[in-house]
Structures are given as structure tokens and as C-alpha cells.
């Protein structure tokens, strides 16, 4: 069965610094990978996805993620963090019609 791990419950970064939110996965085939963001008291919002092709995908709000098949990772990155990026970030996986599985979430705090 597929699974998603986000090894850090919390990531703190200073405003203006680069940020990374980590995600690793386990799946039997080739995965479709997603990142979502959840602001307080809101639903999840789609940021970006990897389906196929270029391993570096770019998404909303300046975020990008790199698919690394050998390391089974899909880390989310942004070159310069904003205080408004503070939120809960979820990595998710879908494996060819299997259930959509979300990671446990990582809380990002960007400090001014």
C-alpha cells in the first residue's frame, strides 16, 4: 500500500531565507505527487503536482518541488520565505486509481 511521510512536524525559517518542507513516499508503481497548503480554519489549497516529465515542478505562490525517484522524495521548496507562507503543508500521493493518501502535515512558521 502506498504511504507518505513528512518527517518534520514543524519547520521554522526566517523571512527571506529559503525553505524546504520534506516529503518521502512509498508506492508500488509510478506515483502522482501533490502538495497542498492549509491556512488556519480553511480548506486545503492545491500548490503543485508531479505527474511526469521534468523532475522540477513549479507551482503557486513561488513554490516548487523536485521529484527524486531514487530517493523517493518530493520536497517542497521556496527560495525566499514570506511570513504569509506560515501554514500547514500536506504532501499527497495517488497511485493509478488507488486512494488519495495524504501525509501527516508539516507546520511551517516563517518568523519576521
Grid cell locating 85: 507562507
- We find the least distance from the C-beta atom of residue 66 to other proteins, in angstroms, to be 18
Angstrom distance (rounded) from CA 87 to CA 49: 18
Show the cell assigned to 107. Answer: 507546520
How many C-beta atoms lie closer than 10 Å to residue 30's C-beta?
11
**Can residue 10 be called a binding residue for other proteins (CB under 8 A)?**
no
- Residues of this chain, 29-58, that bind other proteins according to CB under 8 A: 32, 34, 36, 38, 41-46, 49, 51
The least CB distance from residue 57 to other proteins, in Å, is 12
The window from 15-23, 64-72, 73-81, 89-97 that contacts other proteins (CB under 8 A) reads 89-97
Binding site for other proteins (CB under 8 A): 32, 34, 36, 38, 41-46, 49, 51, 88, 90, 94-102, 104-105
Amino acid at each position: 500500500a502506498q504511504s507518505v511521510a513528512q518527517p518534520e512536524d514543524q519547520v521554522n525559517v526566517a523571512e527571506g531565507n529559503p525553505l524546504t518542507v520534506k516529503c518521502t513516499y512509498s508506492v508500488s508503481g509510478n506515483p502522482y505527487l501533490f502538495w497542498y497548503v492549509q491556512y488556519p480554519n480553511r480548506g486545503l489549497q492545491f500548490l503543485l503536482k508531479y505527474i511526469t516529465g521534468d523532475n522540477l515542478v513549479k507551482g503557486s505562490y513561488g513554490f516548487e518541488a523536485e521529484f527524486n525517484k531514487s530517493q523517493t522524495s518530493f520536497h517542497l521548496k521556496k527560495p525566499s520565505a514570506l511570513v504569509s507562507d506560515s501554514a500547514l503543508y500536506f504532501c499527497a500521493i495517488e497511485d493509478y486509481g488507488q486512494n488519495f493518501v495524504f501525509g501527516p502535515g508539516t507546520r511551517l512558521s516563517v518568523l519576521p
